[in-house]
Chains A and B, each alone.
Chain A
Amino acid sequence: MIEIILIIFAPLIGGLIYGFERVVRARMQNRQGPPILQPFYDMYKLLGKQAFIVNPYHSILGIMHFVTLWVVVAFVILGENLLYVVFLHLLSSIFIVLTGFSVRSIYSHIGANRELLSIIAYEPILIMLAVGFFMLNGTFDIDAIRSSSSELASMFFLFLAFLLVIPVKLKKSPFDAAEAHQEIVGGVEVEFSGVFFEFLYMAKWLEYVFIYSLLMLFAGNSILLGAVLFVVVFLLVNLVDNSTARVKINHLIKIVLSIGLTLGMLNLIGLSYV
């Protein structure tokens, strides 16, 4: 029952995290910042706007991106197969890439390109993460992973690799090349407006829920450790976001892959001797 409620409210939870993040980031910069419910005010405003569409493909694929992501989050909450979740998440990314290419705007194309390229960066690390959990628990089942004790110590290197993935997925500096508002005016977002942009906006919130619920897997069955992990990683990601400049997309791939794969490989080899 609690799972169903969680799934239904998943976008709202993501929205709250996002609002909270804006407050935290503002405080880090010594600003007042918007209220915590600002994302929902934005949403309300967007709903009142006149919807413009460029072509039906574009809008439908954007909506599908949101829907698929919601399904992915539901699978995580229901405790399905972790490796499968990683690949289903790929499907949602493919939808957003197709969205970006279904219009003729150059910014949209560059954004979609970079989205596709950043898949190279994070996907292998997510797969290795899933394999790491498999080696410790003998199964990809998220339920089983959540009910066993914390794996943070034995998967510490993979945890570090996962930390690299978070800013890529959440579009945080230094790895926010796919969105890059200053250069490519938001990339794939550029052609969305009104209610259709709302779906994309909410998909971003779901991305938060997805990535932080993967983070929670490291805590296993310890709720306290989960809370600590969330707070520490949340602050760390925002601190880094506030204090770094964006890197180019090819540097993003090189940095994330070289460091991430090495860490992951060391960790998996270590696990195979345990």
Chain B
Amino acid sequence: MQNTMAIVFVSILAIVSLSHLFTTIDVLQASLPHLFHNIFMFIDFILLAYFLWQGIAKKHSLVTMFAVIQMLLYTYVISLSPTLLSSDILVDKVSSIMYLVINIVGGVIIIYALEYIKSEEFSKFKKSGFIAMLFLFLSVMNFIVSTNNIEIFFMLFELTTLFSYLLIAYRSDELSNNNALKALWMNQIGGVAILLALVVSITKYDTLYFDILIKNIDSTYLLPIALLAIAGFVKGASIPFDKWLLGAMVAPTPVSAILHSATMVKIAPYLMLKLSPAIISSGFASITITLIGTFVFFAASMLALSKDYFKEILGLSTIALLGLMMALAAIGSEESITACLVLIVFHAISKALLFFQAGILEKVNHLKYVKEINGLVNHSPILVFFIIIGFASLTLPPFGAFIAKFMAIESIATEITRNPLYVLALIFIALGSVFLTLLYFKVVTKLFAKDVSSKEDNHTPLPKLYMIPSSILVSLLIIGILVSYDMKLLSSTEIIVPSLLIAIVPILFVSVLFKKAHRVKEYHCGEKDELELSMYYFAVSDGYKKIITAVAILLILILVVGAVL
């Protein structure tokens, strides 16, 4: 009963967000009555008080400190009253695309969560609470992409922090609690950055609205933009703020899926998109944020190569791709903005699909580490199919994420002619994308070793509520190919030919059995040992990790200092 209701609700959300995309209104604006502002203010104080209480109760000095700082700053912000006013709600095309991601991908994740949470050992109340929290999370996300008021944006930002804190701590063991607190204080940095941005914006530009701030921005004084960008880096878990997202892996898998694809971390590229007109008004901010983003893309892909935990590999690749999205938004040309949106949408679908499989691996096959998944194709060919599609859709033509990467290189190539520093960004992207390909197929190859002698009947069946969401996402990927064909993002041969090539393979698998050929065993060259299929590791030494963090911090400092000077 509960499940049916949730599924119906999810479908309604999906239909509404789809129909919204096709309505003709370009920009929808509205203001909220004064009462709401008072309620929001009240919520803010409660939230900050809750963080403070958690900091004191869990004896975590960083959480306490940031909560106090935020309270002081917030009180100060309220005491200032800016005069340049605009509408609180502003829904444009970017918001409607975000609605699609949030409600459709997020909705599919909730359907998946219904099955996943069944097998956890919690009280019925806590299980329902879990689903409810996911729904609330989606609603906060829907609101955050519709608001134009930075103060409301701050409240919603803090609410996402709260939900991530509660969801990461959901299993309430020691590890979960520690990682949740880590996520809390790191995200609080983002909150502080937004409040500082608000203070600067009000005192210098006399407004707390995104649109006025962006319009009136003085290209020599970008401090509020830089601060908001930092809030974006925090939410997007860019290096050096990457630790919290990796810690979030202890939470149940649907949480990771929803954090990584439909909610929260997507605030980062969204915020950059929103700020992008202001960012590109100063060439300095544009190049610095592009470099930060592409550097994160490169560094996170490299770090991921040394990981073995499946979810952690997915997590680092999310961080990498978010870096790329932010860089694309900061370049700000028409093409790069399209590329950014395409990447947001398809990354959400592919990552959700992959996290689903991670969850299924954990629940059905009881596997967590890549080193254990040798020859999975012998037991769960469907699972392997989903994983391969997921990884292929992030790297290979004709899938959406590939198109975005392709357009990214194209728009950077255009920028190089203007500023040679973009060569660095190009190198980061080229290396990062190769590393990601290597990473994904390193994992895939592990699944693949087909055992000739294995019987076909030891397949593990999957529950319906696992199969359906994964299949929906795969069909979304295929619809994505059709849409990109329709939008002419690539020429039609460039989309059709690889689609055919990829489609031929499964057809051949099914139809060709090589009747005439003799089946033989593999070449073993006299070795008697049972073959342990080898996977290579790339250890990234601590020295390099420190350098990466140092470079990332340095770049952010350059951004802040440069924004003031």
Q: A residues engaging B (CB < 8 A)?
A: 50-61, 63-64, 67-68, 71, 75, 80-81, 83-84, 87-88, 90-91, 94, 97-98, 100-110, 112-113, 116-117, 119-120, 123-124, 127-128, 130-131, 134-135, 140, 185, 190-191, 194, 196, 261, 264-265, 268-269, 271-273
Contacts and interface: CB of A to CB of B under 8 A. Distances in A.
B534 A106 contact: yes
B518 A50 contact: yes
Contact of A80 (B493, B504, B516, B518): B493
B514 A59 contact: yes
Contacts of A53: 514, 517-520
A11 to B, nearest CB: 17
B409 A83 contact: yes
Contacts of A71: 497, 501
Given A52-B518, A53-B518, A64-B501, A83 B410 contact: yes
Given A101-B445, A119-B438, A190-B523, A55 B416 contact: no
Contact of B498 (A91, A140, A272): A91
A84 B434 contact: no
A102 to B, nearest CB: 5
A88 to B, nearest CB: 6
Contacts of B91: none
B508 interface: yes
Interface stretch (B150-158, B470-478, B525-533): B525-533
Given A51-B516, A53-B519, 13 more contacts: A52-B517, A60-B512, A90-B396, A91-B397, A102-B448, A104-B531, A116-B442, A123-B433, A123-B437, A128-B427, A131-B413, A196-B517, A272-B418
Interface in B400-426: 402, 406, 409-410, 412-414, 416-420, 422-424, 426
Given A54-B452, A105-B524, A120 B435 contact: yes
Contacts of B527: 106
Given A55-B450, A84-B490, A268-B426, A113 B534 contact: yes
21 contacts: A52-B519, A53-B519, A54-B519, A54-B520, A55-B519, A57-B448, A64-B501, A64-B508, A67-B501, A68-B501, A80-B494, A98-B441, A106-B534, A110-B534, A113-B534, A116-B441, A124-B427, A124-B430, A124-B431, A268-B416, A268-B423
A103 B494 contact: no
B452 A55 contact: yes
B416 A131 contact: yes
A267 B452 CA distance: 51
Contacts of B514: 51, 53, 56, 59
B518 A84 contact: no
B505 interface: yes
A99 B441 CA distance: 12
Given A83-B409, A84-B397, A110-B534, A131 B449 contact: no
A83 B406 CA distance: 8
Contact of A269 (B423, B442, B445): B423
Given A56-B509, A103-B450, A116 B438 contact: yes
Contacts of B448: 57, 98, 101-102
B426 A120 contact: no
B451 interface: yes
Contacts of A60: 505, 508-509, 512
Contacts of A268: 416, 420, 423, 426
Contacts of B504: 64, 67
A9 B181 CA distance: 64
B22 interface: no
Contacts of B517: 51-53, 59, 194, 196
A113 B6 CA distance: 45
B59 interface: no
B526 to A, nearest CB: 12
A174 B441 CA distance: 26
Nearest to B513: A56
B536 interface: yes
B492 to A, nearest CB: 12
Nearest to B419: A272
B490 A124 contact: no
Nearest to B500: A71
A97 B445 contact: yes
Interface string B450-478: 11100000000000000000000000000
A81 B434 CA distance: 19
Nearest to B494: A84
A52 B518 CA distance: 5
A52 to B, nearest CB: 5
Contact of B501 (A50, A58, A91, A196): A91
Contacts of A98: 441, 444-445, 448
Given A106-B531, A116-B438, A135-B413, A88 B397 contact: yes
Which 7 pairs between the two chains have the least Cβ-Cβ distance?
A101-B445, A124-B430, A272-B420, A105-B522, A51-B517, A127-B430, A53-B517
